[in-house]
Chain A
Amino acid sequence: MVVRTQLRRLIVFSTLLLLGFSVLLGRLVYIQVVRHDELSGKAFKYTQRTYLKQTTRGDILDRNGSILVSTERLKILCADPSRIGDYYEPLAAILAEHLDLDEADLVKRLRPRFYTNSLNKVVIDPHVRLRARITEDEWNSVKQLMKTVPLADEDALDKDGKKFLTALRRWAIYTEPVDSHRRVYLNGELAAHVLGFVQTKERVVGRQSVFYARGKAGIEGHFDQYLQGVLGWRTTETDSRRREQVALRSMDVDPVDGLNVHLTIDAGVQAIVEDELKIGVEASSPLSATVIVARPQTGEILAMANYPTFDPNHPGNYETRNRRNRAISDEFEPGSTFKTVSVSSAINDNVVNLNTRFDCENGHIYFMGRSLHDDHRYSVLSVQDIMKKSSNIGAFKIARRLGAERLHYYLKEFGIGDPTGISLPAERAGTLRTVDKWSGLSISRVPIGYEIAVTPLQITMAMCVIANGGWLMNPMLVQHLSDPNGEIVMRYHPERLRRVITEEAAQRMTRALETVVEDGGTAPRARLEHYTVAGKTGTARKYIPNVGYTRSKYYASFIGFLPSEAPEIVISVIFNEPRGSIYGGVISGPVFQGIAKKLTNYLNITPSRELKLETNRPRGLREENYARR
């Protein structure tokens, strides 16, 4: 009986329990299945966070692996005014002093500002940016400061007041989860025009702002897509204290850092070039100047320097003219340095040889009703002497014998009128008109470097043709690209574009150019004691629009290579509107000599002439001290 009663009770109780659980189960299904998307979305909104992971822009290194440009990661300092309350004035005073910020501005930022949020509630804006870039050390010092910041007499505060103050110290000042960064040009102005500069921009990805650098010039601009890298992100959940729950990370994509660019530039060579250029500029106060050092055998650019220059760390502080890479974007009429091109073309066509003699008309000739003259009066000169003395009349007569068509053909072959293809943006092509657009006078002007325009790099590469035995090389500025682990992902090789002249013609021209630095030549000041030098001076009048060729403004240049019997480096020195002397041999020659002297030592180039080794001098004793003995 008892058992039956108990059984009945059990059945009723179980039924009720089952019904109860069924109701719960139904509710569970309703919540978890029917309203799953809606409710989980709401829940995730409070706990799920997606953080962007900042990528690091690749470094730029010189040929020896020294970092020239790198990236410094910085934090973005923010404040939550809702946690600061009425303490914004004393806190602003303390922070302003600590971070060297404007106190009035900081008070304005820290004062609570109200806005209506998505739930239609009026709340205090919890995010105010105080400073976009602070270093890790500065942030640590701010954290220490906030731990003990004296904002009020704590003993006088009630429990809630103390709690508020504790929260303020802990949460009121924070940094954004995504770092900012700053591009650092470690050597300041060194190779500024090659490296270029970046512009930092802010963009919103998702609901977060990200700072990124966009290359605006130089290598930074040309290789921007390789240097940039790709952002990563992490989707995760946080607890009520905003601490990340690592186990609940649902997505974690690492950023891909940018590739490193390894240049052919040698920081040591670049420093020498810039130092010597500075000396030259101080001596002649030109409007602008350019020096390029290249290896003729490979086309590698070892240094490229311009005056005026700028500090890429602060490009905005300089005028546009300072930031322009004149080596590739300034066209000029090269003057007599161009005779190297026109005369070697004639030699290559066997129209003349070094001993062919021309009457230089005692320094003055009329052609097509216009006069052409030399600086000095020469009567009959050989081709070699025409180069040595830089006779315009002689060069004209050689070119006339070659013919306009052939001359134009060779100029194109030398790369005149076409961009060289160097890995830099904004390169100019120069100006070379087609023969049908030449005037009758052009055959007397083009061979001596007028009526055409070249960039300093073009004329340097043209001189490389003579130095390397007749090949036009593609100028190389980048050796390779590597990933952050150092693995090479792209390698650049020296590239011969075409043979322009025969090796024999190049050697003959080299012999002629060697005489330029001899006594009686136009550039004895470019001569070196222990090395043979071949080169050519240029002193070209500037063309002023609406005025014509002026006698007061010149380009003074010297382009040469050494050792002439086995050329290792080509150095071009070009001054725009130098003061004082106007001659390339006087203005640019000594700069060439200064650079060459130091480079032969730095690059350890074997002297051309046999030297008697000084073995008696005690090791480490200075030359003058030794001489005094």
Chain B
Amino acid sequence: MWRRVQSRNEIIGAGWIVRAVVVCLFVGGSCAGYLWQKSQVHQLGQAIRGLEYDLEQLEKGNAVLRQRYSVLASPRELDQRVEQFGLDLRSPAPEQILRIRDSGGRSDVSTVQSLGYSPGRLSRRY
């Protein structure tokens, strides 16, 4: 019995044990690392999904707000508000408008001018 143990010790030395432990640690570490990486990938995937969902919701919310803004800025809505709040606003009479003559053209008349027309009188709006 003693001889067999002694011979085994002769075959498997301390160096081999260390090597085996290192190999086991490496394999175990690799497995753990692989699992950790997979877990991270999964968690990041979930995070990406969550953020994509948030982005989608924000885009939807943005679209809704743009629509609401357009409704609030529409002529009908403004007229209704003016009436609702009794603001008694109305367009000024022509003689109430001070017009300052200028020699310049208007901002977006290039197309019209390129066609050979003189700048018209809608200069303030279009």
Contacts and interface: CB of A to CB of B under 8 A. Distances in A.
A187 B76 contact: yes
Contacts of B115: 297-298, 494, 496
B122 interface: yes
A267 B48 CA distance: 42
Interface string A577-611: 00000000000000000000010111111110001
B75 A566 contact: no
Contacts of B122: 295, 568, 603-605
B117 interface: yes
Interface string B53-92: 0000100100110110011011110010000000010011
Contact of B126 (A63, A530, A567): A63
A493 B70 contact: no
A566 B74 contact: no
Contacts of B73: 66
Instruction: For chain A, give the interface size range.
Output: 35 or more
B121 interface: yes
Contact of A613 (B63, B98, B112, B118): B98
A614 B95 contact: yes
Nearest to B95: A611
A187 B75 CA distance: 9
Contacts of A612: 95
Interface in A262-306: 267-268, 271-272, 295, 297-298
A582 B91 CA distance: 32
Contacts of A246: 44-46, 48-49
A600 B93 CA distance: 10
B104 to A, nearest CB: 14
Contacts of B57: 136
A244 interface: yes
Most buried by B among A496, A530, A598, A611: A611
B53 to A, nearest CB: 11
A370 B89 CA distance: 57
A604 B95 contact: no
B103 interface: no
A244 B53 CA distance: 12
Contact of B45 (A70, A245, A493, A530): A245
A604 B125 contact: yes
A186 interface: yes
B74 A247 contact: no
A271 B76 contact: yes
Interface of B: 4, 7, 41-42, 44-46, 48-49, 57, 60, 63-64, 66-67, 70-71, 73-76, 79, 88, 91-99, 111-112, 115, 117-118, 120-126
Given A246-B45, A563-B121, A604-B124, 10 more contacts: A70-B67, A73-B63, A246-B44, A272-B75, A297-B112, A297-B115, A598-B91, A602-B125, A604-B122, A604-B123
Closest 10 CB pairs of A and B: A246-B45, A271-B75, A67-B70, A604-B124, A601-B91, A530-B94, A605-B121, A611-B95, A606-B121, A247-B41
Interface of A: 2, 56, 63, 66-68, 70-73, 136, 184, 186-188, 190, 243-247, 267-268, 271-272, 295, 297-298, 468, 493-494, 496, 529-530, 563, 566-568, 598, 600-607, 611-614, 617, 622-623
11 contacts: A2-B4, A67-B70, A190-B76, A245-B45, A271-B75, A298-B111, A493-B111, A494-B112, A566-B120, A603-B125, A604-B124
